[in-house]
Amino acid sequence: MSRFQLDEVSRVLRYPKIRKLLGWNDGRIESFLRQLLLRVEVVEIEAVAVTVPDDPNDAPILAALIASSADVLVTGDNDLLALKDHYPIETPTQFARRL
């Protein structure tokens, strides 16, 4: 994961709708984020120049895939899935079926 992705997870977990869905308070969110940071490899994406034509905001996600040399990016984002012919990108369903 990139720092961008970690920040995004932190931001989204604080949405009122997500907090209510999970039933998490600030302490639980902070605990989860600390555990996540311990379990992921943080990669630098600044030197990776990529574009996502239909959504430039998704470029950091694609850059993390490249910088990490991950086997696959699992996403439901259609703008990223449109690039699956050029990068190892799968839907969650495709990934689960391979397991």
pLDDT for the residue numbered 97: 95
| Alpha-carbon gap, residue 93 to 73, rounded angstroms | 12
Percent above pLDDT 90 for the chain: 98
Residue 30's pLDDT band, with cuts at 50, 70 and 90, is: very high
Per residue in 58-85, pLDDT (tens digit) is 999 999 999 999 999 999 999 999 999 9
Residue type, 76: G
